[in-house]
Structure formats: structure tokens, C-alpha cells
Amino acid sequence: MLTTLHTSYTDTRADDLAWALGREPLPALAALDLALQDVKVQLRLLGASHQVILEQGDSSCSETVACIAGSSTPLPLGVAKRVGDWEYEFAARVETMSSGSFAGRAQELLALVSDHPNGLAGIFPGSPHAFTALLVQRQEGQVHWRTWHAYPQEGQLVATRTRVGARLPAPQPA
């Protein structure tokens, strides 16, 4: 699903992004609710980037990557944590490209996500290449999602990937 976000473009630098786990739902400009077998997933586009909320039974997990006022947790390169009964893994990278390469990559990603039944992309006013996009899938009992945050004025694309799955029992000695 592709939408135009009717808001000012607030997180205009990749360096302004922060990461948070476990936040309450923030006001969303667009959302997509999905059921991936027994897991409910909500993809949320914020005025300041994205939030993903998972629910399964009594367990829940929320990831926020956005400009978060007062946040002291910058965007990490990687995180591995336990969240309730789940194992959570997050990774992020920032790519810097020439304006021509950036425009081509932006069009490619927007086409991929907007045509996918489990994808949500929002274009911010001011540039057709200023966007946030999310794509989620379930594989082998785990939920995976990828996100892209585009900053055309800097030629930067922030890409994240997350995996959430059931905690595996510790191996027992033989």
C-alpha cells in the first residue's frame, strides 16, 4: 500500500533517528493491520518514521525507529534482546548515494513495497523520494520486517531489518 503523508517532513536527517523497544503506540499517519497466521502485526507510519507492533496471545512487542523527543538511544547498528517469550534481533545501516543512484533506488523500493500485500509506504511532501517504507513476512515461525527511511536531501537511505521469533529452549546436556 502506498500513501501520501499529509504532514511536515520532521525527521530530515538520518542522524536524527533513534530506536526504542516497548513504546506505547504513537499517533500514526497511516497504518496497516495484518494477520500472519497466529500473529497480529500493525505497521505504522509516523510523522517521524515508523513503528511496528506485534501481538500473539498475551505477548506483545513494539519497535519504534523515529525522531523521538528526549530519546537518548540513537539508532544502533545491531541489537539482540529477549522480549517476553521472544528473541528480538535488529540491525540498521545507512547508505549514502549519488542523487541519480538514490532516485533509482527510491523508485525500486517504493514499487516493491507498494505492490506487496504486506507492505506499507508513505511519501512525505516536498520530494517524491522522501519516504518511509515497511515490509513484513512470516517464515519458519518467525516474523521478519525490513524498513527504509529515505533522506533525498542528504542522499541517504537508512535500511533496517528485524527478526522476532519464539525463544528456543536451552540445549540439554547429553
Distances (CA, A) of 27 to 45, 82, 126, 168: 9, 26, 22, 34
> What is residue 1's predicted lDDT score, i.e. its pLDDT?
81
Give mean pLDDT, residues 11-33: 86
Cell of 27: 499517533
Q: Using one digit for the tens of pLDDT, what is the confidence trace for 41-75?
A: 999 998 778 999 999 888 889 999 988 776 666 78
pLDDT at 8: 63
For 70, which DSSP code?
T
The string of DSSP letters for 126-173 reads T-TT-EEEEEEEEETTEEEEEEEEEETTTTEEEEEEEEEEEPPPPPPP
- The residue type at 55: E
> Which grid cell is 54?
506485534
Q: How far is CA 22 from the centre of its chain?
A: 14
Which band of pLDDT confidence, cut at 50, 70 and 90, is reported for residue 112?
Answer: very high
User: What is the value of pTM for the model shown?
Assistant: 0.88
Of 31 and 71, the structure prediction assigns the larger pLDDT to 31
> So what's the pLDDT on residue 70?
67
Residue 74 DSSP code: B
CA atoms lying within 13 Å on the CB side of residue 59: 15
Q: Which contiguous run of DSSP H or E holds residue 61?
A: strand 59-66
Cell 541489537 sits on residue: 79
For the stretch 123-149, pLDDT in tens is 888 788 889 999 999 988 899 999 999
% residues pLDDT > 70 (the chain): 90
Q: What single-letter DSSP state applies at residue 124?
A: P
Statement: residue 13 has pLDDT above 80: no
